[in-house]
Structure 1
Amino acid sequence: MKYLVMVQGTHADYEAMRGKASEGSPAWSEQELQAMYAYMGAIGDDLSESGELVDAQGLTDPALARQVARGPDGKAVITDGPYSETKELMAGYWVVDCASLERVTEIAERVTGCPGPEGQTGRPVVIRPIQDGAGDI
């Protein structure tokens, strides 16, 4: 079965990776960023070697996001990010094809071990099965 493994973060986390600290999101050094990229890259390499990797991407700063919604008048309302009402957002993802929920949970547990600056608040990793057909809701 295919699963979406979503790495959660906050706008403050993106700011911290640029060197601007806040409560729960200490500033990252260049060495810490490289360690994080190497760690996540190793997970991707291992999943590729095992044949479980379908796709994996990190997402850009939420300030570059755009939200499109339908307003009460039926017309599109377009808002550029970041969105102050959004506490957590998807920072990156893997699409994996795994034999079981237990296996994808092992992968998510590994992701939560990603290195970062001391004092960083851990962010959750969310697993969602991907629908195979119309009847899987």
Structure 2
Amino acid sequence: MKYFVTVQANQVDYDAMEGKASPESPLWSRDDITAMVAFMGELNGELAASGELLDAQGFTAPAEARFVTGSPGREPAVTDHPYADTDVLTAGYWLLECTGLDRVTEIAARITQCPVPAGSPEYPVVIRPVGEAPSA
């Protein structure tokens, strides 16, 4: 079964990684970022070796996002930076092929152990089973 596993953050977390701490998110040092990248690299390597990793990516800051809305017969509206003030957004993901919910939950629990600076916000790791397309 395929699972979409996501981690979350908000704009102030990205700002803290770039040297702009806030009451909501403490400053990330170079060592903090190095530890996070090493943790993710090790996890991704193990998931690739086990054959469970189909894809994994981290997203850029929400301030770099673009939001396009529309409906049939209406001109689409384009807005820059739509998520900059959103409380929580998807910061990155893994697309995994696992034997079942217990295994992917085990992986998500491990993801929660990624090193972060003391006082960082705690966000859940979200597991979403990928559904099959309905047959025509």
TM-score (norm 2): 0.93
Q: What is the CA-CA distance between 1:24 and the residue it aligns to?
A: 2.8
Residue pair 1:11, 1:82 contacting (<8 A) in 2 also = no
- In 1, the alpha carbon distance for the partners of 2:115 and 2:72 equals 44
**Percent identity of paired positions between Structure 1 and Structure 2:** 51
- In 2, the alpha carbon distance for the partners of 1:18 and 1:84 equals 15
Residue pair 1:57, 1:93 contacting (<8 A) in 2 also = yes
Please list the CA deviations of residues 44-71 of structure 1 after superposition, one character each: whole Å capped at 9, or x if unmatched.
Answer: 0110011100000011111111010017
Q: What is the CA-CA distance between 1:76 and the residue it aligns to?
A: 0.6
**SS of equivalent residue, structure 1 residue 96:** strand
Which residue in the other structure is 1:42 paired with? 42
Q: What is the CA-CA distance between 1:85 and the residue it aligns to?
A: 4.9
Q: What is the CA-CA distance between 1:80 and the residue it aligns to?
A: 0.7
Q: What is the CA-CA distance between 1:133 and the residue it aligns to?
A: 2.3
- In 1, the alpha carbon distance for the partners of 2:117 and 2:93 equals 21
- In 2, the alpha carbon distance for the partners of 1:18 and 1:85 equals 17
Q: How does 1:1-137 map to 2 (within 5 A)?
A: 1-70=1-70, 74-134=74-134
Q: What is the CA-CA distance between 1:42 and the residue it aligns to?
A: 0.8
Residue 94 of structure 1 aligns with an amino acid whose one-letter code is: W
- In 1, the alpha carbon distance for the partners of 2:115 and 2:33 equals 9
- In 2, the alpha carbon distance for the partners of 1:10 and 1:72 equals 32
Residue 122 of structure 1 aligns with an amino acid whose one-letter code is: E
Please identify runs of 4+ aligned residues in structure 1 that moved more than 3 A: none
**SS of equivalent residue, structure 2 residue 127:** strand
Give ranges in structure 2 of 5+ residues lacking alignment. Answer: none
Q: What is the CA-CA distance between 1:132 and the residue it aligns to?
A: 2.1
**SS of equivalent residue, structure 2 residue 47:** helix
Residue 107 of structure 1 aligns with an amino acid whose one-letter code is: I
Residue pair 2:5, 2:108 contacting (<8 A) in 1 also = yes
Please list the CA deviations of residues 83-105 of structure 1 after superposition, one character each: whole Å capped at 9, or x if unmatched.
Answer: 35521111000000000101101
Q: CA RMSD in A?
A: 1.7
- In 2, the alpha carbon distance for the partners of 1:102 and 1:127 equals 11
Give ranges in structure 1 of 5+ residues lacking alignment. Answer: none
